[in-house]
Amino acid sequence: MKRWIIEKFFGDPDQVLSLLRRLFFENVPQHKLGYIASFACMGLVAATTGASAWIMKDIINRIFINKEEGMIWLIAGAVIIIYTVKGLSSYGQEVLLTRIGNAIIASLQRQIFDRLLKQTVDFYQRHTLGDLATRLSYSAQAARSVIDLVMTSLGRDLMSLIALTAVMVAQDPWMSIVVLLIMPGAVLGVSKLVKRVKLIMRAELKSLAQIVSTMQETAIGIRIVKSFNLEYVMRKTMTKAIRDVEKRSHKIAIAGAMTGPLMETLGGFAIAGVIVYGGWNVIQNGADAGSFFSFITAMLLAYEPAKRLARLNVQLHSNIVAAAMLYEILDQSIDTDEAPDAVELLIANGQITFNEVSFSYGNSPALNNISLNIQPNSVTALVGPSGGGKSTVFALIERFYDPIDGSVQIDNQDLRSVSFESLRSNIALVTQDTFLFDGTIGENIAFGKPGASADEVIEAAQNANAHEFISVLEAGYDTPVGEGGGRLSGGQRQRIAIARAMLRDAPILLLDEPTSALDAQSEHKVQEALDRLMKDRTTVVIAHRLSTVRNADKIYVMEHGQVLQSGSHSELIAQGGLYAHLCALQFREPVTKIFASSAV
């Protein structure tokens, strides 16, 4: 029976019930006191609502029929007290619930973001920003609404309904039975609308995410959008997403609003029935008119909470779908997680070894049984055609992924056994597309070392040849970089990234050399800074420039996830093969050298 009722009310009972249970167990207990206080307020609202109907009997009988003058003041005073208490407790309940609700949203958002931070790089490739952002804001809000809806329905509406029903039964039990028979009919009618709303809601969330994604693509790719005249493509995608959301919002609104007329009509029948029966009873049987009025007042007052309870179903459903999407993120497993007994990585000198490592991204193989021996205090260059697996080597050193076969070790410690914190704090990464966070130049450098002093930041910038251009800026280190660093030139951004790595001062440096040429002066300054940065570390560099590979202590030539050749520049040139071929065709001379040689 219970299951049948739940099914009628909420659709698939198992899913909904377990979601509700989880939402409540995880969020309600820590606000126990607040909920108890707001329930007390709701109890007062219900009691005073009941009292306001009850007092009608005395108003009619004692003032209007018996004409007891003394009662006028007494009853008027009682009415004032009843409504004042009702007003104050409504206020208290509202404030308490809102505060708890806001705290629940904040806590859910923190949980989601913490979970997202633990996710792998791969996860971010599978989810769009729009999708994640929608879940973070909209789904957390929906989860709070579910809890709020249940709390206010159970508390205020259900208690008020019970108080009013008690008044009705006390005044006229027979009439109450007639009314109570009509009410459940309305509830069943409403439950039919639920399935519809549920389907529309899921699609609605997808379209909302599409809107955010399109906006994001436009903002990030604005140069491409403009230079290729792609505005019409973006507009088309956006218009479609907006239209979808609009259409679905209409549908949801219509389904929700249909409960109104349904309840009005049934309410009309109930009131007419009561007037016929009650009027006949008063006129023919001389029944007490005060009780009749008290009854009809209770019934009219019961209408609102009953309507809200009937609608609860629809509202709860649209929010439950969104709340479920929140748990999809919170429950998403983490592919590469820290071992429960992870220990600190102890750096002896920073030797990195790949022992017969194989790795694939899903079904596409990226590394095939490779072994690398990367020596400390030296520069190891990875070279080879694009797609050869060089970036994957970096990703495995950072343990963004685990190898499928073989192992990666630093100073003979398997990366799977050490903590992420200790591993990554010993690595500095300088990528070709320097990513700068929204903030000032100083803050961006300081990310290299949490709690770095201003002097340390300046020293790092000096070593990275960045100080000179920063100090001539009007706001110096406090200059905002603009989202993604758009206000700085390529060479300047690289030098900021180098300063960040300088400050980190990690024993292991992973450097993905920029493929695009800078102007001669910038190139020279960047190179100088890099030379300083690479000193006395284990440096692994994905090399694109001839001078880098020439100076490297060891070179690994990679293609199709395999190491084809290894050795120093002169050894490899002597061997011939892919390396000699690459040297002849692919490597870029630094601009300074080209200029220098053309000047000769």
Rounded-to-integer distance, Cα 568 and Cα 183, Å:
87
Binding of ligand ADP by 308 (CB under 6 A): no
| Residues near ligand ADP (CB under 6 A), total | 11
**Concatenated DSSP letters of 283-331:** HHH---HHHHHHHHHHHHHHHHHHHHHHHHHHHHHHHHHHHHHHHHHHH
Read off the amino acid at residue 224. Answer: I
Rounded-to-integer distance, Cα 135 and Cα 205, Å:
9
Binding of ligand ADP by 124 (CB under 6 A): no
Min dist. Cβ of residue 510 to ligand ADP (A): 12
* Cα→Cα distances 56→60, 64, 291, Å: 6, 11, 8
Q: Are 350 and 507 in contact (CB under 8 A)?
A: yes
Q: Are 578 and 567 in contact (CB under 8 A)?
A: no
Which stretch of DSSP H or E encloses residue 372? strand 364-374
Binding of ligand ADP by 390 (CB under 6 A): yes
In the list 291, 392, 492, 494, the residue contacting ligand ADP (rule: CB under 6 A) is: 392
In the list 111, 191, 336, 391, the residue contacting ligand ADP (rule: CB under 6 A) is: 391
Binding of ligand ADP by 554 (CB under 6 A): no
Binding of ligand ADP by 363 (CB under 6 A): no
Q: Which of 347/366 has CB closer to ligand ADP?
A: 366
Q: Are 500 and 444 in contact (CB under 8 A)?
A: yes
In the list 2, 70, 125, 331, the residue contacting ligand ADP (rule: CB under 6 A) is: 125
- In a 13 Å sphere around the CA of 556, the CA atoms on its Cβ side amount to 23
Q: Which of 52/566 has CB closer to ligand ADP?
A: 566
Binding of ligand ADP by 388 (CB under 6 A): yes
Residue 401 pairs in a beta bridge with none
Binding of ligand ADP by 176 (CB under 6 A): no
Min dist. Cβ of residue 358 to ligand ADP (A): 12
In the list 364, 570, 597, 598, the residue contacting ligand ADP (rule: CB under 6 A) is: 364
- SS3 state of residue 346: coil
Selected range binding ligand ADP among 223-231, 259-267, 380-388, 548-556, rule: CB under 6 A: 380-388
Rounded-to-integer distance, Cα 205 and Cα 224, Å:
28
Binding of ligand ADP by 412 (CB under 6 A): no
Binding of ligand ADP by 221 (CB under 6 A): no
Rounded-to-integer distance, Cα 178 and Cα 269, Å:
11
Binding of ligand ADP by 586 (CB under 6 A): no
Eight-class DSSP state of 588: B
Q: How many helices (H) and strands (E) in the chain?
A: 24, 10
Binding of ligand ADP by 278 (CB under 6 A): no
Selected range binding ligand ADP among 167-175, 212-220, 229-237, 388-396, rule: CB under 6 A: 388-396
Selected range binding ligand ADP among 150-158, 238-246, 389-397, 414-422, rule: CB under 6 A: 389-397
Selected range binding ligand ADP among 66-74, 344-352, 383-391, 498-506, rule: CB under 6 A: 383-391
Min dist. Cβ of residue 382 to ligand ADP (A): 8
Residue 352 pairs in a beta bridge with 374, 410
Min dist. Cβ of residue 218 to ligand ADP (A): 24
Binding of ligand ADP by 361 (CB under 6 A): yes
Min dist. Cβ of residue 118 to ligand ADP (A): 18
Q: Are 170 and 211 in contact (CB under 8 A)?
A: no
Binding of ligand ADP by 497 (CB under 6 A): no
Neighbour tally for 535: CB within 10 Å: 11
Interface with ligand ADP by CB under 6 A: which residues? 125, 361, 364, 366, 386-392
